Amino acid sequence: MLKVSAAAVLTLVVSCGGTAPRPTLARAQSYSVITEQADPLAGTLTISIKVAGPATQSNFKSAAESLIAERKSEYRHITVKSYAENAAASDPPAAISRLENDSVSHVFNARTETERIQTH
């Protein structure tokens, strides 16, 4: 029985090219929650988040939509105020995202970097 087990292990190691596959890390969360105010009776939630990475509309939108998707089963109305990770406490939000009537809308601060699409 020991020979069979050793042979099985040897076969697995050889079939993997001599090394076991590396474990993969889960994708790092793209935001961190700063504050959260919930009103379960009214079905509303207001959250402020800091978004990791470049301060682009795409990053703010993606982080807010991810958070909204996680929480929309619990709340009918969700407001997400997104800040760049290097924003000061007195800075206005870079984006405000809202879930209303099962639809998400985004409003971006004029200071938020817009993404440029190369035309040629």
Three-state SS string across 44-62, please?
EEEEEEEECCCCEHHHHHH
pLDDT at 10: 47
Single-letter amino acid, residue 87:
A
| In a domain? residue 6 | no
pLDDT band at 61 (very low <50, low <70, confident <90, very high): very high
| In a domain? residue 63 | yes
| In a domain? residue 100 | yes
The SS3 call for residue 14 is helix
pLDDT at 51: 95
pTM for the model: 0.70
| In a domain? residue 104 | yes
pLDDT for residue 108 is more than 70: yes
pLDDT at 12: 47
| In a domain? residue 66 | yes
pLDDT band at 28 (very low <50, low <70, confident <90, very high): low
pLDDT for residue 55 is more than 50: yes
Range of the domain at 74: 25-108
The Cα 107–Cα 105 span in angstroms is 7
pLDDT band at 112 (very low <50, low <70, confident <90, very high): low
Please choose, from the candidates 101, 62, 55, 60, the residue with its C-alpha nearest in 3D space to the C-alpha of residue 78: 101
pLDDT at 29: 74
| In a domain? residue 34 | yes
| In a domain? residue 86 | yes
| In a domain? residue 41 | yes
Q: How many domains does the chain have?
A: 1
pLDDT for residue 27 is more than 70: no
Q: Between 9 and 109, where is the model more confident?
A: 109
